[in-house]
Amino acid sequence: MKITEEMVDYISQLSRLQLPQEEKTAMTAQLEGIVAYMDVLNRLDTSGVEPVSHIFPLKNVTRSDEVVPSGDREELLANGPAVKDGAFLVPKTVE
C-alpha cells in the first residue's frame, strides 16, 4: 500500500498534530517503510494459523475489587506542563 501525504495529513489531524512540511515528508517515508514490511509479512502463508490477539497464551488475568489508596495528586500532576486547581490545564476543548 502506498502512503500519500494526504493520508499523513489525515492521521495527524486525528491525533491533533500539526506537522511542518519537512516532518510531513519524513513521516510519509517512514510510514511507507512500516507498511512495506507488512507487505513482506503478508507474503507468508498463514491459512492454517489461528489469529491471536496476545502473544502469550494468557487468559483471565484479573484482580479482586479492593480499593488501594490512589496516587499523590501533586506527583501525578507533575507529569503535565500546565496545572491549575488540582487539574491539568489543556487547550480549550469544551464550549
Partner 1 sequence: MTWETVIGLETHVELATRTKIFCSCTTEFGGAPNTHCCPVCMGMPGTLPVLNEKVVELAVTAGLALNCAIAPVSRFDRKNYFYPDLPKAYQISQLYLPIARDGAVDIGGGKTIRIHELHMEEDAGKLVHDPWLDQTLTDYNRCGVPLIEIVTEPDFRSAEEVIAYLEKLKETLQYLGVSDCKMQEGSLRCDVNLSVRPVGSAELGTRTEMKNLNSFKAISRAIAYEARRQIELLEEGKRVVQETRRWDENKDATYAMRSKENAQDYRYFPDPDLPGVELSGAYLEHLKASLPELAEHKRARYQADWGLPAYDTEMITSQKTLAEFFEALVALGTDPKQGANWIMGQVLGQLSAHGLEAKDMKLTPATLARLIALVKEGRLNRNTAVKVFEAVFVTDGDVDAYVKEHGLEQVSDAGLVETVVEQVLAANEKSVADLKAGKEKAFGFLVGQVMRQLKGQASPAVVNQVLRDKLG
Distance CA 65, CA 62 (A): 9
Q: What's the chain's length in residues?
A: 95
Least distance in angstroms from the C-beta of 71 to partner 1: 4
Query: Does the protein bind partner 1 through residue 62 (CB under 8 A)?
Result: yes
Residue closer to partner 1 (CB basis): 39 or 50: 50
Residue closer to partner 1 (CB basis): 21 or 70: 70
Least distance in angstroms from the C-beta of 34 to partner 1: 15
